[in-house]
Amino acid sequence: MVVTEPRTSSTTLAQLVAVASKADPSDLKAYLHEVQKFHLNGVHIPFWRNIPMSCPSRFLTPEMLHYFHKEFWDHDCKWCINALGPEEIDFRFLVLQPVTGFHHFKEGISSLKQVTGQTH
């Protein structure tokens, strides 16, 4: 297991400055190449950047992330599958544009048995 430092707001913002010094955010391909070096998702301007004392490593705890994940999959997503039907949901995921750094469900989501949140 690899142990890493918490992703604090100051560290993340400093990494974004370093990335922006090497790649213009409007050049998506170059920018995404640079952010991946820091394991960032490509968000250029985080919503929390100007909120005093905000630090994602403190307010996005593993417990909260697990709760959000369970809420989305066990309730919201399953409701959408039932409301629209599995074929329609799968089609909508199929036509989404793939985004670097995010999983693309080209086969849809209706037949997934388990959703772990792991990307690899």
User: Rounded to an integer, what distance in angstroms lies between the CA atom of residue 89 and that of residue 94?
Assistant: 9
- Judge contact between 16 and 37, C-beta under 8 A: no
**CA gap 20, 34 in Å, rounded:** 9
The per-residue pLDDT for range 60-86, each reduced to its tens digit, is 788 888 888 888 888 888 899 999 999
Q: Which one-letter amino acid corresponds to residue 102?
A: F
Q: Among candidates 24, 53, 18, which has minimal Cα distance to 37?
A: 18
Q: pLDDT class for 59, splitting at 50, 70, 90? A: confident
Percent of the chain residues past pLDDT 70, beyond the cut: 89
Lookup: tokens for 77: 């997503």
Q: Check pLDDT > 60 for residue 120.
A: no
The pLDDT value recorded for residue 28 is: 87
